[in-house]
Amino acid sequence: MIHEVAHGLSRDAARRAARNALEAYAERFAAYSPSATWLDEDHAEVAFSARGLTLRGRLEVGDGRIRLELEVPLLLRPFRERALAVVDREIRGWIERAGRGEA
């Protein structure tokens, strides 16, 4: 499953927004054991657990968009829209803050 969030930020501001979003997500949803391992400035491996299963994926910061690709196990597919909505909301919030110069 691939999800993209558009942004009108510089690459550096988008990187900060993505990092802040992942950090905030990890704090707010600690019960789901979220993790993000940055491979380089623009790519992170992400994971979180739900219902005893782990969802894994990659986040990529690009010009004009942040792309999230998740591998969703069959048993968790009914929850993928809700999970994506939460991640999307977190990323969009940090993009808005960065656009206002707050992050």
Structural domains of the chain sorted by starting position, each given as residue range(s) with its CATH number in brackets: 2-99 (3.30.310.80)
Above 70 in pLDDT, residue 103?
no
What span, in angstroms and rounded, lies between the C-alpha atoms of 66 and 74? 25
Q: pLDDT at position 86, please?
A: 77
Q: pLDDT at position 6, please?
A: 94
User: What's the token pair of residue 33?
Assistant: 């054991």
Q: pLDDT at position 36, please?
A: 93
pLDDT tens track for 11-28: 999 999 999 988 988 898
Q: pLDDT at position 88, please?
A: 83
The DSSP secondary-structure symbol of 92 reads H
Q: How confident is the model at residue 8 (pLDDT cuts 50, 70, 90)?
A: very high
Distances 2 to 28, 86, 97, 99, 102 between C-alpha atoms, Å = 23, 15, 24, 24, 28
**Full-model pTM:** 0.82
pLDDT tens track for 44-99: 999 988 778 788 889 999 999 999 998 877 766 776 777 777 778 888 888 999 88
